[in-house]
Amino acid sequence: MNDPSMNRLVEQVRRTSREYHLWSPGDCIIVAVSGGPDSVALLHILNQLARDNEMCLNLVCAHVNHGFRGLESDKEAEFVAEIAAKLDIPFELGSFDVPAYMKETGKGTQLAAREKRYEFLHSVADKYGAKSIALAHHADDQAETVMMRLLRGSGPTGLAGMKITRHERNVELIRPLLRIYKTELVRACQSANIPYVTDSSNLLNKYDRNAVRLDVLPFLGQYNGQLVASLNRLAEVIGDEDDYMQQEVVHVYDNLVSQVDGGLAFKVPQFASLHAALQRRLIKLILDYLPFNMEESDFVKIEAIRKGTVQNRPTTWSLDLGGGLCCLREYDIIRFVSNVADRDLSGYSYSVDPFRTEVPIPWAGHRLHFLRSEAEHIVKQSNKVGKDEAVFDADQLVYPLTVRSRLPGDIMRVMGLDGSKKVKDIFIDEKIPPSLRSQIPIVSDAEGRILWIAGIRRSTVAMVTQHTSSVMRITLVAGSE
């Protein structure tokens, strides 16, 4: 083939390949060919590049018969098979009853056809051990995509349109023609006498993409003669900026987000210091990682989380995100957890017999260590040990001791107060997240007196004095083993 129009496209694709590293010498590439001028031109361009002695690409021509147009679809499959045979390229045919699949799943025409098409292309890539799947999307397709997403209210990621290269299921989806307009592809096929077919369904504006191509873009083109080119520039500029923002939000994620109790969490002050654009992206990235399939329409949920996080007044709230996922704010902590993971863990109770020195609380991630000893060096300061330890006059306790979760109406005599205080109010004062309150061990004696809210507050029961002869030292230790 020595046609000037086709040769120009070959060189343009070669430059795109070098810029985006679309392939390497010896790569196997699955070429999706429908039979139209776009995909036929792509197959011929790649075939010419594959024969380059320095490249030696291995091509496989793949065609999908969706089962929509009966005899017309069968003839298209035969046509593509003949092209592959003439070029001495292996041919793979996938035949599907997409209308039946639509009835089975309730999915629309375009979505159902796309799922079956990509399912087949990936299976062919697996069969041949291909590195990439080449798709014939061109600049006009890009403009249609951007316009469709603009009409749906997509954010920057959506308006970036299709990527020239994108990783999916162990292979790269590559679009070597994305900077070339359809008129150039048609002109090159006609100039080089390369036959192609026309899909009659492309002329029906009952499909969204066809309606945008046939009605919306021509109408808007009256006000901007370079509309398609403008939409492509928009996609390229936003695409680059979107890539940059994505790199930034991954960096923010690594610094702010941590794994907690099977979910993800971050602290409000650090989040609030971010620009609103990064705040939204961070929330979406978290939801993507959990995983939670977000649609562009879920901007409302993302914004509800963001605004609920940056409000000045410390508070607690929960938001059901659907799909079994819940977002919780507990004072200065935002957590994303499954509704199942956030279930109430109350109801446990362990008796501490005289010979038992340790009680594990596995789901709380810690254990309590009990040690009774002589009080040779114990003085009043023993009552002022750190929050993870409490010391009691062992002779004033009524045994056996009990380690349990909190109960409704729990009251404890508090040091520094002339009286008692509800355990619930102590948790609130200490800003203990509601989801963690039922996990915190409470130590009581046989008379039901609360001795210690482990790691939080000690009671006035069994205070150590200079007259104490034996002490019970209880220590909160991290880890359940």
Binding site residue list:
34-39
Angle of CA points 324, 292, 269, to nearest 5°: 95
CA atoms within 13 A on the CB side of 200: 8
Cα 151 to chain centroid, rounded:
24
Angle of CA points 139, 144, 146, to nearest 5°: 95
Contact 464, 376 (CB under 8 A): no
Give CA separation, 184 vs 180, 187, 214, 328, 444, in Å.
7, 5, 19, 54, 83
Neighbours of 373 (CB within 10 A): 12
Contact 108, 115 (CB under 8 A): no
Binding site residue list for ATP:
34-39
CA dist., res. 65 & res. 73, Å (int): 6
> Which residue matches tokens 């501490």?
352
Cis amide bond preceding 156, omega within 30: no
CA dist., res. 368 & res. 476, Å (int): 5
> Which residue matches tokens 């006000």?
223
DSSP 335: E
Cα 177 to chain centroid, rounded:
29
Copy the structure tokens of residue 33.
Answer: 């060919």
Instruction: Give 329's strand partners.
Output: 317, 334
Copy the structure tokens of residue 76.
Answer: 């298209």
Instruction: Give 132's strand partners.
Output: 29, 172
Which amino acid belongs to residue 420? S
Q: Reduced to 3 DSSP states, what percent helix, strand and coil does the chain have, rounded to the nearest 5? A: 45, 20, 35
- The two beta strands, 28-32 and 132-134, are parallel
CA dist., res. 16 & res. 78, Å (int): 31
Contact 370, 428 (CB under 8 A): no
Helix (H, G, I), strand (E, B) or coil at 352: strand
